[in-house]
Structure formats: C-alpha cells, structure tokens
Structure 1
Amino acid sequence: MAVEADTSESGAKKGIPKLFIIIGAAAVVVVLGGAGLFFFLSKGTAEAEHGATVGEHGEVLPAAQTFIFNLPPMIINLNKEADEEAVMKLTVALEVADEAMMVEIQPRLAKVVDAFQVYLRELRKSDLEGSAGIYRLKEELLRRVNVSIYPSRVESVLFKEILVQ
C-alpha cells in the first residue's frame, strides 16, 4: 500500500508542471497577440494623425489638401407630422478639391441653396432621427449640390450645425 500512495503523489506532482507550462504558453500567446494588435493599430493612427496615406508599395504619401466652402446658415420649416410643426437650423460646409473649385461654386451658390431648401422642406422630423437619418441627409445634400454645380464637383458635405425643434 505504501507503494500505491507514493505513485499517486508523483502523478500529482507531474500534473502541476504541465499545468504551469500550458498557462504560461497561453499567457505568452495573449501578450504577443496584444502587442501585435497594438503595433498594427498604432501604425494606422499615426499616419492618419499626420494626414498621410500609404501608397501601393508601402511608401507614405502626403494627403491631398482640400478646401472648405462655408454656406450661410439655413432655417427651414419641416413638413408637418401629426399636426406637429418642426423647424430645423442647418449650417453646412462643402469640401472641395482646390481653390479654383471654390471660385466656380460662388456664382452657383443660389442654385445650391435653392436645391437644399426645396429638399429640406419636404423632410419630416422623423426623417432626421438617428445616425442613419443624418447619413441619408448628408448623402442627399451631396447629390443635390453636385447636380446644381455640374460639371464642378464637391467632395463631401460637412455639417457644422444641425438643430431640430
């Protein structure tokens, strides 16, 4: 019987080092994975902070400079919804590729504001709820401004202020 007790103790002693090896290996994998993820993510954010992009062969390219064209603030009566009136105050800026595009947009500004006003008056308060509603608004305004100033082109519509009451 003394021999049986001795073998069971030695089996338990052999199991403990295996457990430590497995735990240690798992910890090393987690640490290496976390470090790799950190370096992968920090590389992208450092380039984004400096306004650079990565080219085809891994070289860092300077970001294209864009210009901002501010539109005057607009106050719009939204379409009635269940006898509830709503008003929206909207301040928009247009992002353009270069200064020449800003000069081209200036004489067509009345057409852009008119296109915005006609579209915005048909909106209801419920159309503007949530991030999806704001995204749809942004895309529709971008489409309408590009139609109004064709053949010129705006890169994006930037919201400076959106207030719905």
Structure 2
Amino acid sequence: MSGGAAAAVEPGAEGAEGAKKGGRKKLILLAVPLLLIGAGAGLWFSGILPGMLGMGAKPAEEAVSEPPAIVPALFDMPEIIVNLNVGNRRASYLKLRSKIEIADSRDVAHVQAAVPRLQDLFTTYLRELRPEELRGSAGTHRLREELIARANVAARPARVTDVLFVEMLVQ
C-alpha cells in the first residue's frame, strides 16, 4: 500500500510542477512582447530610434544651408497733418504719427522708396474721414485696417503686417 500511495502522490506532484512550468511559459510569452514594445517606445520617444531610421534632426551641414529666419521690422512714417471732412462745421484736424510693421526686415528699402506714395494714399484717405469715424476703439481699428490695406498696395513687394499709432490727435 505504501507503494500504491506513493504512486498516487507522484502523479499529482508532477501535475502541479507541470502547471507551474506551463504558467511560466505563458508569463514569458506575454512578458517578452511587452518588454520589446516598451523598449521600442522608449527608444522612439527619446529620439534614438527616429535618428537611427533617418527621421531625426537634419545634419549640421543642412541646417547651415537654410535661409536666415525672417525678422519683422518697424519703419517710422513721417508725421501727417490733415483737415478732416466736417462739411459746413468748424474745421477739424488730425495729426498722425505712425510706424509701419514690415514682415521682412530685408524689405525696408522697398518701403523707403514708397514713402511718397504711402503719404499720398494715407493723406487722401484721412481727408475723407469725419471726426465721428475716429471715435472709440472700433474707429481706431477700422482706421488701422484701411491704412494696412493701402500700405500693402503702395509698398509692394514688401508685406505690411501692421500700422502702429504713435500719436493720433483730433482737434
């Protein structure tokens, strides 16, 4: 009986050991792909993998050959004094000092050459304004938009991005 009892215990013990080995195999089969995915993600987000695949930053030679960054510039416009359109009422005047923001500082020469045309377009537009049209922030915003549009026409090929008011006096 002792032999029979030992025989009965041994198959159960082998079954438990087999279950442990099968569980380890399943754990390894699940852990290895997860470790590979984790390592790949770590390499990707650290920038090592894109660099190895040629998708990373450009080499120093290519970076030097890029054109210089576009730097905006400000150009001082001459002071403009005009009489406003008031109809039959007492005369009203506008004194305007402004700066023009140019998208690329290399275009300052184009704007400098266009100053007479800019003054003419600005003055012609300003003389048709009524004092009521300049009141409040909405009036100033409309004035700015109109002057930007005229400046872009006059200073072409330079691109004017903004007109900044230094002084605006309505009297």
Q: Give yes or no for TM over 0.5.
A: yes
Q: Which of the numbers 87, 95, 98 marks the counterpart of 2:104?
A: 98
Matched residues, number: 103
Flag the 1:108–1:64 CA change in 2: closer, same or farther, 3 A.
closer
Backbone CA RMSD of aligned residues: 1.6
The corresponding residue for 1:160 is: 166
| Percent identical | 43
Amino acid at match of 1:147: V
Is residue 2:121 matched to residue 1:126? no
Residues in 1 aligned to 2:106 and 2:119: alpha-carbon distance in whole angstroms: 20
Q: What are the superposed Cα offsets for residues 66-97 of structure 1, whole Å, 9 maximum, x if unpaired?
A: 21100011111101245121101000100112
The corresponding residue for 1:116 is: 122
The corresponding residue for 1:8 is: none
Q: Is the 8 A contact 1:127 1:133 kept in 2?
A: yes
The corresponding residue for 2:85 is: 79
Q: Is the 8 A contact 1:90 1:162 kept in 2?
A: yes
Amino acid at match of 1:156: D
Flag the 1:125–1:81 CA change in 2: closer, same or farther, 3 A.
farther
Q: What are the superposed Cα offsets for residues 124-158 of structure 1, whole Å, 9 maximum, x if unpaired?
A: 10110111000000000000010112222111110
The corresponding residue for 2:76 is: 70
Q: What are the superposed Cα offsets for residues 90-122 of structure 1, whole Å, 9 maximum, x if unpaired?
A: 001001123211111111110011000000000
Is residue 2:143 matched to residue 1:137? yes
SS at match of 2:114: helix
Q: Is the 8 A contact 1:81 1:125 kept in 2?
A: no
